[in-house]
Amino acid sequence: MDDGIRRHATVTSTQDVLRDLARGGAPGGTAVVADAQSAGRGSNGRTWESPAGMGLYASVLVRPAPAAPDRLAALPLRVGAAVADALAGAVRVKWPNDLVAPDGRKVGGVLVEAEASGGAVAFVLVGVGLNVRSALLPASLRGSAAALDELVDEVPRDLAERVVAAVRTA
């Protein structure tokens, strides 16, 4: 059964791969998940550390795109809340797009990018990056970042599927 998830070992960024698929006519709900990204990014063009084994990097195509601007603007919060719920409350949402541990350290984030065509939003890409393995966090981030394995007894084996499902239903 095709779950609509395209899995990759390494990509430039899941957003970039999904954008190409969207431009090629991929249906809404198509997802890209990667073990590593060579050019991962967060909001405002910030880089996102994405080495293999450290985290979960996923993007989901939203099509049709929300027509109302307020619905599009609220998407990062809705996705963050859905991901937090899918992780049984191990993380919480910090406005506007961060996923944080109870002590406030950043565990992940949500990146929403839209592409317009003919004056209307053609599609939306929703990316989620989560730190999963604390042992692989760069030393420079240890005071401000946390990983999922610090917050739960066991990282779910179906983590990617849970995150993609949360984005699809947000």
Q: Per residue in 48-63, pLDDT tens?
A: 768 898 999 999 999 9
- H or E segment to which residue 33 belongs: strand 31-37
The pTM assigned to this predicted structure is 0.92
| pLDDT tens-place string over residues 62-77 | 998 777 777 888 999 9
Write down the CATH number for the domain with range 5-169: 3.30.930.10
Domain boundaries, the chain: 5-169
Distances (CA, A) of 13 to 19, 30, 58, 155: 10, 15, 9, 23
